[in-house]
Amino acid sequence: MSGPPAILVVDDNAINVDLVSFVLDLGGFVVRSAADGPAAMALIEHQRPDLILMDIQMPGIDGVQLTRQLKADPRTQQIVIVAFTAYAMKDDRAKLLATGFDDYLSKPIDVATFADQVRGCLSGAQRPGTHPPATRG
């Protein structure tokens, strides 16, 4: 990977997008955002991100459907996709990883550690079969 990692935040909540973008920008990432699946696909066509933070509940196509679509396409299947959700039930991480996500981060974020958590998701993806402990307790 040359240059700073490119992150795409796919979330329909503008406040979440603004906060995450600010924190990741300070952390040295290049950040773009999309409010829904079609907007995300348009951005991905022009510049493939290194990692996608994917909200689960969005209008139209949800994060699970969009992730399945991206993982089924040979052009986009190598993008690291992290479920980024307020779901915090006991088995949610395992369920989301089973649907095709590479990792899981919960909302709300901890601004002091979030950039490092995202960096950990990228590092874990570079070692096949590993998933760093990225969730907050």
So what's the pLDDT on residue 86? 84
pLDDT at 16 over 70: yes
pTM to 2 decimals?
0.88
pLDDT at 131 over 60: no
Between residues 126 and 51, which one has the greater pLDDT?
A: 51
How does residue 129 score in pLDDT terms, banded at 50, 70 and 90? Answer: very low
Q: Does domain 6-125 have CATH number 3.40.50.2300?
A: yes
- Show me where the domains of the chain are located: 6-125
pLDDT at 108 over 60: yes
Closest C-alpha among 134, 73, 128, 64 to residue 96: 64
Average pLDDT, the chain: 88
Per-residue model confidence as pLDDT tens digits over 29-88:
999 999 999 999 999 999 999 999 999 999 889 999 999 999 999 999 999 999 998 866
How does residue 126 score in pLDDT terms, banded at 50, 70 and 90? Answer: low
Task: Give the Å distances, CA to CA, from 64 to 4, 21, 68.
Answer: 27, 22, 6
So what's the pLDDT on residue 29? 98
Closest C-alpha among 47, 75, 74, 70 to residue 83: 70
The CA distance from 110 to 113, in Å, is 6
The answer to whether the CB of 72 falls within 8 A of the CB of 31 is no
